[in-house]
Amino acid sequence: MRKGSSSILAAFLTLSLLTGCGSAAQSSTAADTEAQSSSAADPEAQSTVVQDGSETREFTWPAEPAESTIYVEKIADMPEDFITGVDVSSYLSEINSGVTFYDYEGNALSPQDFFVFLHRCGINYIRLRLWVDPYDEAKNAYGGGNCDLQNVTEMGKLASDAGMQVLIDFHYSDFWADPSKQYAPKAWAGMDIDTKAQALSDYTTESLKALLDDGVNVGMVQLGNETTGGMAGESSWPKMLRLFDAGSKAVRQVAEDKGQDILIAVHFANPERAGKYKNFAYQLASKHIDYDVFASSYYPYWHGSLENLTGVLKEVADTYDKKVMVAETSYMYTWEDGDGSGNTESKETVGSDWDYAVSQQGQADVISKVTRAVLDTGAGIGIFYWEPAWIPVQVWNGEESVYKENQKIWETYGSGWASSFSGDYDADAAMYYGGSAVDNQALFDFEGHPLESLRTFEYLRRGANAPLAVTRAVVEDFLGPAGEIPALPETVSVEFNNGTAEDVPVTWKEEDLLAAAEGGAGTYTINGTYEAAGQMLDISCQAILNTKNYLADPGFEDTSTASWTITVNSGNDPVAIENDLNNVRSGNGCLKFWAEQEQDFEVTQVVHLEEGTYRLGGYLEGGDAGESPEFYIYLRQGDQIWRQDTFVTKWQVWENPEITDISVAGECDVTVGIVVKVPGKAWGAFDDFYLYRIDE
């Protein structure tokens, strides 16, 4: 069923709800909703009420936890109207590309059924990005879902007809806007700020009116997307504030004219950068920008701890009396790439240091914990999962021919993150255009079948039990001397699906240990077994032996600084090797920095290496580094540079930036460096650097 009258839809909804997701459902009118809620048979039951024009629908899930393959703890203090949303902006382009989505019974879902199905799984809000003109001169589409007004309207209508509200995410760009790019729409190029503010206002008014006129139930609007570094081609705050103001006033006016309640959200990324959000909120308040919701992206692998997220959002909420939410989050259930176009998070790009299991349970844990973190602010209104349905247009089997076919489909229907046609507008896309970069973070498998983790949104309201299972077992790499049995850890840290963790004894394979002891310097995989959740399970540990540290004075013990070269670009004597037991990680000395003024320095060492694969790392603590500090370590060989950014949080909390796979081609001199660019009063210390060869 594509479209229909709302009464047919309501009847259909009730039917699907009664038969789907193991959930009971009620359909009611606005007038008797309250009575039904309070007289429900089960006072503990969680429900969600959705207004759709004159229709009110109530979804009620049983109070008792579901039986599932994932464990989800019920969040008892989650308000009924808490937003459990998803961003499915790529949906239409996927369908146009021939993708089919299914329900849990294996039935193919029509577009309308698809959105009803999402609602049935506990999703109550749909977020859609909107681009001004995502086409080149010849009208070829840029891709990324081709999210122009027409397509967004069509998806917004499907969502609204399925009883959900819609968040329109104005990027104020012709294509992707994020912390690294905020290109102005082509039509606004070269405008002075007054003209641009007027253009933004007109565009906001026209688009929003059109969406509402076409029956899209817009409940919230975002002024810009991840506007951490700018918006619509402007990066100075005075100009950005002009644009925020123009957008806000336009939305308020349309809402008033149309009699529609619309929340206004601003959206930033990088909650992990100390002081950023406080400053953004301060800037917005300084010009009395009228908004309701301060939203953040939160990707667990990029954006710091959840405690920090809660803290920085709460500070804004408390200081400026705002609601807060997470506008984007997601996580991997697999390391596989579904379509031959690599994923942003893959084993190759990220190493192995993860806070959550890479599994459906891991996805459920992320959704649950992000929800908890948002609620803990005391002002949280919801979370959105980003692009859970951006799956392969055709599953890639490793064959070049299949990849070529996929490429053709992405180019034709805009179902890849970027098409080649976007290259003139977005330099990144010119080099790296391709398919879905997040198919391993979807909540549908590569062929369109829903994962159990999609039901997390329902389970947050009632809980889900699963047989006890190990979600993750972690053992750190072992670094030690060659020529003896590696003294591997005796226990492995095991995490279970119910959120508990335990250190469990592990037995390492004798013959692997002996082979490592006899094999000389090199990297060895040592296999082991442990018992948990009633099962014997396998684990392995990387033992890196004869860890000759190629760096001279790696622990900064020599205060004469003979082994390191310090270059100060600005700052009055900001950095030195010092003996300071308060700021060392080990030994007596560290590379310590502090200055009253802005600091910009580099500390380097030239090292002679043979051809091979190396690992470079070190440790850093510190604080007061402002909103956009720059800290990184690097290794340079000729024109090639390997770099890892890092940051500081507080005293004696050591970050461990590491570059794990440096391939040095041929015997040569390389430069190892530490770069710091921070404002005055920033302080900190580096210690315990290492450069190991790992392929011998």
Where does this chain bind Ca ion (CB under 5 A)? 337, 339, 341, 343, 436, 439
H/E/C letters for each residue in 211-275?
A: HHHCCCCEEEEEECCCCCCCECCECCHHHHHHHHHHHHHHHHHHHHHHCCCCEEEEEECCCCCCC
Q: How far is the CB of 675 from Ca ion (least distance, A)?
A: 32
**DSSP reduced 3-state for 17:** helix
**DSSP reduced 3-state for 690:** strand
Q: Alpha-carbon distance 229 to 628, whole Å?
A: 10
Q: Alpha-carbon distance 626 to 608, whole Å?
A: 36
- Shorter beta-carbon distance to Ca ion: residue 337 or 512: 337
Strand partners, 165: 125
Which of these, 101, 108, 112, 208, lies nearest to 159 by C-alpha position?
Answer: 112
Evaluate whether 290 touches 250 at the Cβ level (below 8 Å). Answer: no
Lookup: tokens for 664? 């040095």
- Shorter beta-carbon distance to Ca ion: residue 391 or 675: 391
- Shorter beta-carbon distance to Ca ion: residue 145 or 629: 145
Q: How far is the CB of 88 from Ca ion (least distance, A)?
A: 17
**All residues at 6 or more sequence positions from 667 whose CB lies less than 8 Å from its CB, including other chains:** 608, 609, 610, 611
Strand partners, 684: 593, 622
Query: Residue type at 64?
Result: E
Distance of CA 368 to CAs 71, 248, 346, 430, 577, Å?
A: 10, 32, 23, 37, 45
Evaluate whether 306 touches 373 at the Cβ level (below 8 Å). Answer: yes
- Shorter beta-carbon distance to Ca ion: residue 399 or 630: 399
Q: How far is the CB of 396 from Ca ion (least distance, A)?
A: 8
Given 58, 94, 226, 452, which residue is catalytic? 226
Q: How far is the CB of 301 from Ca ion (least distance, A)?
A: 16
Distance of CA 580 to CAs 61, 494, 673, Å?
A: 59, 37, 22
**All residues at 6 or more sequence positions from 24 whose CB lies less than 8 Å from its CB, including other chains:** 17, 18, 60, 61, 62
- Shorter beta-carbon distance to Ca ion: residue 417 or 556: 417
Q: Alpha-carbon distance 453 to 463, whole Å?
A: 13
- Shorter beta-carbon distance to Ca ion: residue 87 or 337: 337
Evaluate whether 623 touches 648 at the Cβ level (below 8 Å). Answer: yes
Strand partners, 578: 590
Q: Alpha-carbon distance 537 to 473, whole Å?
A: 10
**All residues at 6 or more sequence positions from 521 whose CB lies less than 8 Å from its CB, including other chains:** 482, 545, 546, 548, 693, 696
- Shorter beta-carbon distance to Ca ion: residue 337 or 365: 337
- Shorter beta-carbon distance to Ca ion: residue 49 or 393: 393
Q: Alpha-carbon distance 58 to 81, whole Å?
A: 11
Given 58, 94, 234, 328, which residue is catalytic? 328
Q: How far is the CB of 412 from Ca ion (least distance, A)?
A: 18
**DSSP reduced 3-state for 378:** coil
- Shorter beta-carbon distance to Ca ion: residue 111 or 388: 388
Q: How far is the CB of 345 from Ca ion (least distance, A)?
A: 10
Q: Does residue 226 carry a catalytic annotation?
A: yes
18: left (phi over 0), alpha (psi -120 to 50) or beta: alpha
Which residues are known to be catalytic?
Answer: 226, 328
